[in-house]
Structures are given as structure tokens and as C-alpha cells.
Structure 1
Amino acid sequence: MTTPLAPPTRIGKPAVVALGLLAAVTGVLESVVAPTLPLLQRELSMNPSQGALLSIAMLITGALVAPVAGNLGDRYGGKRVLIRLMTVVSAGGLVSSLAPNVPVLLLGQVLQGAMVGTLPLSIILVRKYLSSGESQVAIGVVSGLFIGGGMLGTLIAGPIAEGLSRHWMFAIPTFAVIVVTLCVQVLMPNDPPGRTDARIDWPGLALLSGVLLTLMLGLSMAPEVGSRPLVLGALVVLLAVLVAGWIVVERRSPAPMVDLRLLAKPAIWSSYVITFAVCVGTAVSMFLVPQLFSVSGDGYGFAAGSTDIGRYLLPGAVAAAVSGPLGGVASRRFGSTAVVTAGIGVMTATFAALAFVHTEVWHLVVAKALIALASGVCITAMVVKTATSVDHGDTGTATSLVLVTRVIGFAAGAQVSGAFLTAGTVSGVPAESAFVTGFVIAGVVTALSLLAVRTLSKGAKE
């Protein structure tokens, strides 16, 4: 086998900017469905079950694709896999923009879900071409722009859909994705492949996909757990069988999809635990705060419309956008452990305050901004910590699992929030106690992640 040429030691700022812009525009495309779901249901005559499936279609695909994309990037080169992945995403965006009915729109969303693999592939590239300190900042920039793009998409999707049409809210960010992908193709040098002689672990891939799919389906049923306990129980049993089978296969495989020895490192598994807990808490705030803005109860709520809610959430979107670069710079200067500890402390204190004080609009605006900032800083620090705790050849696999954990955490937080808010609804209006319970649960889950913070520095250097 011919040995590839060593890559250049550095890349220019335009290449890093192109990766950041790619993260931003994919974040926009990822987030346009959630705020416009009522409009899509109305125009396409979707029933509630179809609407629920549409809302999680990309999450399911992303959870399946991210570890595969990261692993292939480690083997065959980050840029090579990234360009092919964005071709699939662009096709999905075009299908969604032209979709005349629900099945075609679902197909487009399934293809778009491949975008979750963008971040681990970008991290592979910056780790190869930048120094350790520079790569931490670059990872923060790329992560932050992805989150910021998602927030921007949430804000602009409604006005575009109402002012132009639902087709344009997919088409505009898709065109941006195509243009920025071409810029990455031109500006980013080709990185050499890694383990090209290793075969793909197809049994491990199939079992891991089954694990993630079963887990996401189980989470999607959380609000109906009381009415369908047997189905949920069967999914739990199936999940346990799939996990056991996956562990056996990965232990015996000469080239496993995920090296279980990698997951056993304290710095790695603790990163996943913290990411899950932080994302659960963040998802609770993302679900409950807009609901509290819109509800009109006896002494609580503000009866705000969609435009006002979007305006109230704008500071949180700005905070999320700057959280990634801030997390990267802070991790470089103070270390990931200190950054995560501070972020979790801010989130826990904010949730505690929300449980007691939520009678003014500014209370929720400030709290949502603080949670978005602290959450973004924590997640970025976890991505940085994970990426720098493994060898270059494992960067894509390790960081992709952080993103999978993020997706699962968000899905779990949203579904649990929906479950107890539904349980606390009387005569069509959620009780104030349901919101208080949600904020308390989010604070407790986030605070418990501090138990895993102390293991972050074990087995890996900052």
C-alpha cells in the first residue's frame, strides 16, 4: 500500500472560516421544522402522529449517521467523507423544499439528518492541521456556529414560511449549504486517509444502529407511557438485547466500529455522561420557557404570540452563538474541567431561580440566555476534552458519540417535559406547578452531572 504524503502542518484562516460557515448553515437547515410544525401540519394535512414523526426524523437519522461518519472520517480522511456527506444533505434539503406531500417531506428530512456528521468530520480536519491550542479554539468556533445557526433558523423559519412559503424555508439554507460546501472543497486541503486497510465492521454498525433507533423510539413514546406500557416494556427488553449483542460483537471484531477500550477511559465516558445531563436540562428549558411565555394562567404566563416569543428568545440565540467560541477559548486557558464546573453551576443556579421567580418577562429572558450560554460552553468544553483525550485516529469516532449523546439528551429532555406538562394540564391550560416541577427536575439532573466532573482529568492530559 502506498504511504500517503504527510499533510501540511497548518491551514489558513479562510479554511477554518469555511468550516465554521458550513456548521452555521447546516444548523439553520436543521432547525427550520420545529418552529413551523403547526404550519406544516396545516398545509400538508398531517395528523398528530405524522407531525411527531416529522419532528424526530432528523434526530433519528443524525444519531445513526454521526458515529458512522466519524469512523469513516478517521479511516478515509475527514474532507473526503465531509464532501460526500454534504452532497446527501444538499439533496435532502432540495427534496424537502420541493416536497408536495408528507412522505416526500419525510424522505427529505431523513436525508438532511446526515448533517449531524458534519461536526466530527470538521474536528478531524482542525486537529490535523492546527496546533493543540489553536484547534481547541477552532473546535469552539465550529461548535458555536452550529448552535448559533440552529438558533437563527428557529427565528427566521416562521417569517420566511409565512412571507414566502414553506418551500423557501428549506430552499434558502440549502442553497447556502451548497455554496459553502464548494468553498470547503476549494479552501481545505485533502487530508490523508488513516486506517484504509481495515474493513468496516458491518455487524457492529448494524447493532449500533439498532440500539440508537430503539432508544429514540422509546424516548418518542415517553408521553404515552401510561397508555402503552407493554410496547414500551418490549422496547426496553429489545434495547437490552441489542446492547448486549453489540458489546459482544465489538469485543471480538478485529476492527470494531467503536473501540470499547476507548469508552472505558474516564475522560471519555464522563464526557458523555455530562453531555447527556446538560442537554436534558437545556431541552427542558427550550421546551418549557416558550410554553410559559404563551400560556395564560391565573397569576402566571404572559399570553405572548409567536412574534413576541421569537423576540424574547433572541438574547438566548445570541448567547448560544457566542458560547462555542467562548467555550473553546476558556477551555484553552483554564482547562475543560474548570469550564464545565462553572457552566454547570450557572445552569443549576438559574434553574433554581426559575422555579421560584418567573413572574416577569425579563426573568425568563435572562434565565434562558444564561442557560443557553452555560450549556453551549459546557458542550463545547466536552467536545474539546473528548477530541484532545484520544489519538488523532480516533477523533471522529469519539467526538461523534458526543453528538449522539447530545441528540439523545435533547430528545429525552423534550419528551420528559412534554410528559409532565401534559400530566399537569387541566382544561387545556398547564398548571404553574408543572413548570416549577420541570425547572426543579432540570436543575437536579444538571447538578448531578457534577459527580462525573471529577473524573474528567483522569487518564488524559488537558
Structure 2
Amino acid sequence: MKPGATLGGLCLATTAYSVLQSLVVPALGVFQDELNATPSATAWLLTAFLLSASISTPVLGRLGDIYGKRRILIAALTAMSLGALTSALASDLPVMVAGRVVQGLGGAVFPLCFALVREHLPAPGRPRAFVIISTVMSVGGAAGTITAGPILSLLSSRWLFLIPAMVSALAIIPVILLLPPGERAPLNTRIDWYGAALLATWLGLLLLAISRFGSPGWHWPLIGATILAPVWWRGQRRADQPLVDLRTLALPTVRATNAATLLLGFGMFGSWMVIPLLVAEKFDAGPTVVGLVMVPTAVGNLLIMRVYRRLTARQGPRAALAAGIAIAGLAYLALAVGHQTLAQVCLGILVMGAGIGLAFAAVGALVVEAVPSEQTGVSAAVNTVMRTVGGSLGTAVGGSVLTWSPGESSYTTVLLLYAAALAGALCCAIRVPRPVTVYGGPAEARTGTA
């Protein structure tokens, strides 16, 4: 099978998920009016998707390692299509939210695509494939945000689900035709369902507490997560076939990269909430203008692709991760002190997009290349969850600062907080051992032992 055909199938699958992830966000107010719901109830269209994606991603990643990543990728795309169709046909909010829960199973698409790159593409072509998939993820997300307005104007809100449903269904075809079937794990390999249930419970409680931060009773889910997380950790250490091999997570490269991803997600996702609010409030911009202002994020990703390929070829993904974090951090600092004009904001977003694109392409490469091939799915999935948790924290903290201290100065404070988070991420990136990429050998030879 030609590498280009394999990569093309993975890119279409990534496009389906990235569009689905972002297309609904600008239309929350519309759904609130159509379904006669409260803002807090409508927010569950996002919360349910986030919880489902975060909980299911590690489990589906592990299932991919056992039963074949191609097979699980097809299942995830099918769930996305059926879930989107359910939401499109829903006549009330609970059914629409239920559809979003099913759509969340698509959260495994991105890490599975990275793991399939490691599995099927030759070593020299992997860095290029990693950055292309990351760029497609960013451009697809931006396209979803931008096209939501025209879709609402020309069609109806239900097409925000119908279009992703069709794209997800179409993405299944090239995955089946173009991706070669992978090897299955030995017959005696099994999944730790007890560990999966515990992980889903405490991680769901943690994200629920973060999403409800500051509201009455938000601390109860946090207490539950604090109690259950150590129980899960001890169970994984004792299990013969754990859901997540903690020894793999303790490898120096994986450990440092996951820590950097958590802090990088804090700044990245948080800024995607704060910057649109800043543009809307300061420049009295509507949804279409706000969406267009965020386009430079995707442009920055596209422009940085060639730089990533050259940098990783010479110095490896560790250097790309550090450089990307530093660029994004400087962009946040520039935005914090200079956001008086739309031109300044757009320039800052352009630089930020380039830095984040560079960093996240390196993150995926570092993780999947550092672990044994039979653990790439679950390891990439855990890294994705770290990004989601970091993003949830960044959004919650940024929203709280803007609520407690309204005014333009609060935006400066939040952007400085995100810059500080990226400074911490840079410290973690520097801790990644080098060399970290020697294709074809055991993980320990590349990363050192835990």
C-alpha cells in the first residue's frame, strides 16, 4: 500500500472529527432559542461531548492496540456519523445531548491516526505525516468555526450535524479501502474492563468538576475523582494486563511530553475561548468577524509545516516542541500588551497558530515513537486526554478571571497566565531526553528506562 494513500485516508478521518468538534460551538445560542433551553442546559452540548471524548479515548486506544487500530478507527467514525445524525433529528435537548455523547467516541480518531502513522508509514516519512495530520486537525477546526455562520444563514442549525454525519460516513470508505489491516494482539491479550470503568469514572468526575468550577457543588465531583484516581492507579500497577501500562507513562520522554502537553493545552484551549471574547467585546464584532479573526491560527499551522520538517530532520521533534512552545508563549505575551487593533490581534494569532502547530505535531511524534508498537494507541490516547484536561483547566481559569474581574485588564491578566503556563511547558520540553528518535529499536533504547 502506498504511503500517500494511507496518509490520505487518515487525513480525511481527521477532517471529519475536527469539523464535528468545532462546527457546533458558534451555534449554542441558536440551539438555546430553538429548544427553549437555559444557557447552562445548552452548555451540555459541549460538556457531554468533552466528557465522552475524554473518557472513551484511552479505552478505544487500548482496544486499537489489541484488536487493530484500523478496525477501531472505523468504529469511531461510525459512532461519529450515527451520533451526529441523532442530534440532527432530535426534537429536544436531551436527545441532542445523547447524540453528542455518541459523537464523543470520535475523540479517539486523532490519536489512532498518529498511531497508524507509526504502524504503516516508513520512518523517513513519519515527521511529514505527523505535521500534515496536525495541520489538517487545525485547519478543519478553523473551517468548522468559520462555516457555521453561513450554514445557519443559508440552511438550518440541523445541518451543523448533518454535514459532519455525511463527512464521517464518507471518511469510512477510504479508511477501509486505503489502510491495510493491522496485526492483532495475541489471543491471550485482554482489556482491563474494571480499570477502564474506574478510569472513566474518576476522569469524568474530574472534568465535570472543572467544567462546573465556581458553581454550587462543583467540589463534590472533585472529591470523588480524588478518591478514585489513586484506587485506579494502584489497580493498574498490580494488573497483569493493565489498561494503561504505567511503566510506559513513566518513560522519561513520555512523562515529560505529557506534562508539556497538559500545560500547552491549558494555554491553547483557554486562548481559543478568551481571544474571541476579547474581539467581540473590544471591537463589537459579530460571530462571522470573530470566526475570521481566528483564521490566522490555521494559516500559521500551514506556514510552519516546512519549518517542522527541516527542524525535526536536523534536531528531532524535541527541538520542534521547545521551539513551538517558545513561539506560542511569545505570541501570548505580545497579545497581552498589544491588542489595541484587529491587526495586532490577527498577527498575534498567526504567530500563536504557528507555535502551537509546531508544538503539537512534535508532541504526537514524541509519544508514538517513544513507546513499544503494541502500546502506541493507548499512549497517544493518554496524551490526547492530557491536552483535553489542560484545555478544560485553561478555559475554567480564564472564564473565572473574566467573571470575577470584568474589564479589558482582565484579558491581559488571562493572557499572561497562559504565557506563564507555556513557560512551564517549555521547562518540561527541555526535560525530554535526547536523542529521542531512533526508528526501529525498542522504546527503552530511545528514551531510557523509567
The Cα offsets for residues 156-206 of structure 1, whole Å up to 9 and x where unpaired, read as 112102210011121122212211211211111111212442121011101
Q: 2:390 aligns with which of 406, 409, 420?
A: 409
Q: How does 1:340-355 map to 2 (within 5 A)?
A: 340-355=321-336
Contact 1:343–1:378 under 8 Å retained in 2? yes
For residues 12 and 284 of structure 1, what CA distance do their matches in structure 2 show? 36
Aligned partner of 2:132 in structure 1 is: 141
Partner AA of 1:244 in structure 2: P
Aligned partner of 1:123 in structure 2 is: 114
Contact 2:262–2:390 under 8 Å retained in 1? yes
User: Quick check: 312-321 or 156-165, which moved more?
Assistant: 312-321
Aligned partner of 2:352 in structure 1 is: 371
User: Quick check: 166-175 or 106-115, which moved more?
Assistant: 166-175
Aligned partner of 1:452 in structure 2 is: 428
Aligned partner of 1:73 in structure 2 is: 64
Q: 1:253 aligns with which of 222, 232, 239?
A: 239
Q: 2:159 aligns with which of 164, 168, 175?
A: 168
Partner AA of 2:225 in structure 1: L
Aligned partner of 1:100 in structure 2 is: 91
Partner AA of 2:370 in structure 1: S
For residues 346 and 221 of structure 1, what CA distance do their matches in structure 2 show? 32
Aligned partner of 1:331 in structure 2 is: 312
For residues 152 and 343 of structure 1, what CA distance do their matches in structure 2 show? 23
User: Quick check: 203-212 or 301-310, which moved more?
Assistant: 301-310
Aligned partner of 2:221 in structure 1 is: 235
The Cα offsets for residues 67-109 of structure 1, whole Å up to 9 and x where unpaired, read as 1111111111111111122111110011111111101110111
Aligned partner of 1:287 in structure 2 is: 273
The offset of 1:366, in angstroms, is: 0.8
Aligned partner of 1:264 in structure 2 is: 250
C-alpha change, 1:90 and 1:100, in structure 2 (3 Å) is same
The Cα offsets for residues 134-165 of structure 1, whole Å up to 9 and x where unpaired, read as 12321221222122211111111121022100
Q: How does 1:175-254 map to 2 (within 5 A)?
A: 175-224=166-215, 228=216, 231-254=217-240
Aligned partner of 2:101 in structure 1 is: 110
Partner AA of 2:159 in structure 1: W
The offset of 1:320, in angstroms, is: 3.7
The Cα offsets for residues 208-242 of structure 1, whole Å up to 9 and x where unpaired, read as 11121011111112243xxx3xx344333322211
C-alpha change, 1:38 and 1:405, in structure 2 (3 Å) is same
Contact 1:266–1:459 under 8 Å retained in 2? no
Q: Percent identity?
A: 30
The offset of 1:18, in angstroms, is: 1.5
For residues 225 and 327 of structure 2, what CA distance do their matches in structure 1 show? 35
User: Quick check: 182-191 or 433-442, which moved more?
Assistant: 182-191
Contact 1:61–1:113 under 8 Å retained in 2? yes
The offset of 1:324, in angstroms, is: 6.4
Aligned partner of 1:380 in structure 2 is: 361
C-alpha change, 1:174 and 1:435, in structure 2 (3 Å) is same
User: Quick check: 321-330 or 149-158, which moved more?
Assistant: 321-330
Contact 2:318–2:436 under 8 Å retained in 1? no
Q: Which runs of 5+ in 2 are unaligned?
A: 439-450
C-alpha change, 1:436 and 1:407, in structure 2 (3 Å) is same
Root-mean-square deviation (Å): 1.8
Partner AA of 2:411 in structure 1: F
The offset of 1:444, in angstroms, is: 0.7
The Cα offsets for residues 302-348 of structure 1, whole Å up to 9 and x where unpaired, read as 11122222222222233245656764664344311211111121122
For residues 134 and 29 of structure 1, what CA distance do their matches in structure 2 show? 28
SS of 1:199's partner is coil
TM-score normalized with structure 1 length? 0.91
The answer as to 2:347 corresponding to 1:356 is no
The answer as to 2:307 corresponding to 1:307 is no
Contact 2:316–2:436 under 8 Å retained in 1? no
C-alpha change, 1:219 and 1:163, in structure 2 (3 Å) is same
For residues 370 and 130 of structure 1, what CA distance do their matches in structure 2 show? 30
Partner AA of 2:363 in structure 1: M
Aligned partner of 1:26 in structure 2 is: 17
For residues 346 and 143 of structure 1, what CA distance do their matches in structure 2 show? 17
For residues 403 and 55 of structure 1, what CA distance do their matches in structure 2 show? 17
